[in-house]
Amino acid sequence: MFPNLKNPVFTDIGDLNEMARQIRRDIMNMLLISKSGHSGGPLGFADVFTALYFNKLNILPEQPYADFRDYVFLSIGHIAPVWYATLARRGYFPLEELKTLRKINGRLQGHPAPLKTHGLPGVEIASGALGQGLSIAVGAAIGLRLSGKPNHVYCICGDGELNEGQIWEAAMTAAHHNVDNLTVFVDRNHCQIDNRTENVMKLEPLADKWKSFGFEVFEIDGHNMKEILDTIDKAKKVKGKPALLLTYTKMGRGVSFMEDNYKWHGVPPNDEQGRVALSELFPTKFGDFVDYYNGK
């Protein structure tokens, strides 16, 4: 008998939004300390990570690989700072370790790795080679179902990542095998490293494409916490097919000069930009792991 460990840390939408703001501050502090890393994507997906880890997932941080856990696969590994900040805030490892982003011999590298390879608890696989995460998630979901286990699998993909053919092979496989213990998020921010997604490779009509591959598709505002929570519940109830949340977000959400600007895909702010960003994300009630300007 698997325990029900959802035990939401927060049920109030205001508290969840406040935690998402705190996670964005953590991301900024991490990038300012490391002088390296991705800004836009991590800021943009903070609301979804908050919804999952502080309300929806069956998890127990002190037992990160317990048999009863829900699985999270981050296919777009380069947005690792938002995952690191979320895991630390949820209690998987000390907040102080967020200072070590991208440091030599540290566990918080530019792309995530699991605990067994000197990475972090709560991380299932090393990721970052785009296009591979969905295949792994589909395999995990099928394996859990064959074992008669009720665990749910979540996979987070980027819209630029959909240029990779392997994504669509995995999508066909998931639909063919009626993998209904799988929920996929696509971060639809219309930005990738080189340009707007539609200038690099046209993706639309994206919702129709996923539907044609056999997915139940939900289109949501990725910054509306209540909509995120409600739609995760709806997706989990889908039977006979995989579910996909086409999640419309703004790259760089919460920082005015970064929002919806693809040029912030893979660069950190400088000190002055960081000062502005942190001022726009202030205040929060949870407390910084470090205030970059008052003792690094």
Share of the chain above pLDDT 90, in %: 91
Task: State the sign of the Cα–Cα–Cα–Cα dihedral 263, 284, 89, 14.
Answer: negative
Picking from 91, 69, 66, the residue whose alpha carbon sits closest to that of residue 9 is 91
Amino acid letter, 92 = Y
Backbone angles phi, psi at 170, to 5 degrees: -65, -40
Domain 13-294 has CATH 1.10.1270.20: no
pLDDT in tens, 164-204: 999 999 999 999 999 999 999 999 999 999 999 999 999 99
* Burial class of residue 214, CB neighbours in 10 A (0-12, 13-18, 19+): middle
What are the distances in angstroms from CA 59 to CA 6, 83, 96?
7, 15, 22
pLDDT in tens, 258-282: 999 999 999 999 999 999 999 999 9
* Mean pLDDT of all residues belonging to the chain: 95
Confidence grade of residue 116 (pLDDT, cut at 50, 70, 90):
confident
Backbone angles phi, psi at 74, to 5 degrees: -95, 95
How many CB atoms within 10 Å of residue 146? 8
Confidence grade of residue 1 (pLDDT, cut at 50, 70, 90):
very low
Domain boundaries, the chain: 13-294
pLDDT in tens, 34-54: 999 999 999 999 999 999 999
